[in-house]
């Protein structure tokens, strides 16, 4: 296998994608990727994942080891059965760390999320994922660091965060990420309880004010519409606007014509 590993490029990308997906979703992802590495196949099928090997992380945040070790440990903590998009999002969540590694006062990975999203998109296109699967995988990569800010989020920001499509996958990725590093699950439990406590209609309420209402109030259509509607929704999500009348009064007071 080592001798012929380079010939894996002759296999169709769809077949490679499907076989990797089976490895990731059937409960033995860590073992499978260790074997891919040992056999010499990993640099040919996923060079971006192979590049994680030896990339050290700040020990105060990642006592488990380098980016490759962390990623494979994370795969062990995914729920079973595991959706394919979650599995790939988990595999690629830190794919931007190797090219952004630097040492200042400590090890840093500046903009690794933004870089990782672009790299994950290239991988998804290369392996010919569907547009829907690509969108979800990229969303998982893009948002995985936001959990570190939930304790400081406004209620409106937190509710919008929880409105992400397939948010259960985002939450599962965060849990697995924690279990593969510091094992602190306080943020996971906080968000999980919030989801249980807040009814869906409070997370995604019907709009109290529309663009037609703004036009009727004398506002000219334009970019300011979004600013006004966002401000109204923020206040609504935070419980400060209990009714349509209150919302219209809010607009008159905060955004006079």
Spell out a b/e string for 44-75, using b for 16 or more CB atoms within 10 Å of the CB, else e. Answer: bbbebbbbbeebebeeeebebbbbbbbbbbbb
Round to the nearest angstrom and report the end-to-end CA distance of the chain. 72
* Backbone phi, psi, residue 102, to 5°: -155, 160
Give CA–CA dist 163/237, Å, rounded: 12
Q: How confident is the model at residue 191 (pLDDT cuts 50, 70, 90)?
A: very high
The 10s digit of each residue's pLDDT in 15-71 is 999 999 999 999 899 999 999 999 999 999 999 999 999 999 988 888 888 999 999
Average pLDDT over residues 187-214: 94
| Residue 61, pLDDT score | 82
Q: SS3 for 240?
A: coil
CA dihedral 41, 42, 46, 50 (to 10 degrees): -150
Tokens of 240: 């400060």
Q: Which residues, other chains included, contact 3 with Cβ-Cβ below 8 Å and sequence gap of 6+?
A: none
Give CA–CA dist 192/1, Å, rounded: 45
Specify whether the CB–CB gap between 115 and 99 falls below 8 A: yes
Place of tokens 């860590």: 30
Q: Which residues, other chains included, contact 254 with Cβ-Cβ below 8 Å and sequence gap of 6+?
A: 231
Note the pTM of the prediction, 2 decimals: 0.91
Average pLDDT over residues 180-202: 94
The 10s digit of each residue's pLDDT in 117-174 is 999 999 999 999 999 999 999 999 999 999 999 999 999 999 999 999 999 999 999 9
The 10s digit of each residue's pLDDT in 226-250 is 999 999 999 999 999 999 999 999 9
The helix or strand, by DSSP H or E, that contains position 101, with its residue range, turns out to be: strand 101-103
Cis peptide bond N-terminal to 81, omega within 30 = yes
Give CA–CA dist 213/56, Å, rounded: 55
């Amino acid at each position: 296998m080592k001798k012929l590993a380079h010939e894996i490029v002759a296999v169709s990308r769809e077949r490679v994608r499907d076989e990797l997906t089976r490895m990731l979703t059937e409960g033995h992802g860590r073992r499978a990727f260790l074997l891919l590495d040992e056999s010499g196949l990993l640099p040919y099928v996923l060079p971006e994942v192979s590049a994680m090997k030896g990339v050290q992380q700040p020990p105060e945040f990642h006592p488990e080891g380098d980016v490759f070790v962390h990623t494979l440990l994370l795969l062990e903590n995914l729920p079973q059965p595991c959706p394919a998009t979650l599995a790939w999002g988990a595999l690629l969540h830190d794919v931007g760390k190797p090219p952004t590694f630097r040492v200042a006062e400590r090890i840093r990975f500046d903009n690794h999320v933004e870089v990782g999203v672009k790299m994950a998109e290239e991988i998804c296109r290369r392996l010919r994922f569907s547009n829907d699967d690509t969108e979800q995988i990229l969303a998982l990569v893009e948002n995985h660091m936001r959990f570190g800010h939930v304790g400081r989020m406004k209620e409106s920001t937190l509710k919008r965060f929880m409105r992400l499509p397939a948010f259960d996958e985002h939450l599962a990725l965060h849990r697995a990420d924690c279990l593969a590093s510091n094992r602190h699950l306080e943020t996971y439990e906080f968000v999980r309880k919030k989801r249980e406590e807040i009814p869906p209609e409070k997370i995604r309420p019907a709009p109290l004010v529309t663009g037609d209402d703004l036009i009727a109030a004398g506002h000219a259509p334009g970019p300011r519409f979004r600013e006004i509607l966002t401000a109204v929704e923020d206040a609504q999500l935070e419980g400060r606007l209990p009714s349509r009348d209150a919302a219209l009064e809010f607009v008159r007071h905060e955004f006079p014509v």
